[in-house]
């Protein structure tokens, strides 16, 4: 458990200075409202620590269900069978797909997890990691295939490097010509 999570849970579940130990009292000694508040508080503290794990598990089930259904049947299935929207289903699935990141970052709240995934998604979309050699991408470009922004940048840099090398070679050859 992360320090932040431990700190928050202990701050929610911890005792304040001078607090009476409620465990020693029987429930008949306490006001019904106090008992209810304490039960709800304990439930909230317990549920907080399980919320993200539950969301990840829901995402896994949804992904498996989507894979088992024919193409185009998943969204109608979501609308007919679960008490949340398509967007919520997509968020759960994203949480499952990115569970390693969520575990590494150790987020505490669902809102924080979704914000983190959104930030990661924006970085990935903006940077678009390309794992192909520039020469391959250039061949695609020459054959008329469209390139993403990041692929264009890779080819542009690769071609600029080639031009620079050719200019250097050309200068050396010109120097050789002058010597003759």
| Residue range 28-79, pLDDT digits in tens | 556 788 888 888 877 776 676 577 788 888 999 999 999 999 999 999 999 9
How far does Cα 5 stand from its chain's mean position?
Answer: 19
Task: Answer yes or no: are the C-beta atoms of 69 and 77 closer than 8 Å.
Answer: yes
Can you give the pLDDT at residue 135?
Answer: 86
Task: Answer yes or no: are the C-beta atoms of 163 and 145 closer than 8 Å.
Answer: no
Q: Which of 53, 58, 140 is nearest to 91 (CA)?
A: 58
122 pLDDT higher than 70: no
Task: Tell me what the mean pLDDT of segment 142-164 comes to.
Answer: 85
Q: What percent of the chain has pLDDT over 70?
A: 64
> Per residue in 70-116, pLDDT tens?
999 999 999 999 998 998 898 888 888 877 776 655 555 666 767 76
Helix residue ranges per DSSP H, the chain? 3-13, 32-68, 74-81, 86-97, 99-105, 110-127, 134-142, 149-179
Helix residue ranges per DSSP H, 98-145? 99-105, 110-127, 134-142
Task: Tell me what the mean pLDDT of segment 115-136 comes to.
Answer: 64
Give dist(CA 167, CA 55) in Å, integer: 57
Mean pLDDT of the chain: 75
Give the CA radius of gyration of the chain.
Answer: 29
pLDDT-based confidence at 9, cuts 50/70/90? very low
Q: Which of 100, 112, 96, 86 is nearest to 55 (CA)?
A: 96
Geometric angle at alpha carbon 16, from 13 and 18, rounded to 5°: 140
């Amino acid at each position: 458990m992360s320090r932040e999570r431990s700190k928050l849970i202990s701050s929610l579940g911890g005792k304040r200075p001078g607090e009476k130990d409620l465990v020693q009292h029987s429930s008949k000694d306490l006001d019904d409202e106090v008992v209810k508040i304490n039960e709800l508080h304990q439930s909230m503290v317990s549920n907080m620590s399980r919320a993200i794990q539950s969301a990840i598990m829901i995402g896994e089930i949804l992904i498996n269900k989507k894979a088992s259904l024919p193409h185009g049947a998943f969204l109608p299935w979501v609308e007919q069978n679960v008490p949340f929207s398509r967007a919520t289903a997509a968020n759960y699935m994203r949480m499952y797909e990115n569970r390693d990141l969520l575990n590494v970052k150790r987020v505490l709240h669902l809102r924080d997890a979704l914000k983190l995934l959104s930030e990661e998604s924006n970085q990935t979309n903006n940077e678009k990691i390309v794992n192909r050699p520039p020469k391959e991408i250039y061949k695609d470009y020459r054959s008329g295939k469209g390139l993403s922004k990041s692929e264009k940048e890779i080819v542009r840099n690769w071609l600029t490097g080639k031009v620079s090398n050719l200019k250097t070679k050309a200068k050396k050859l010109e120097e050789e010509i002058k010597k003759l």
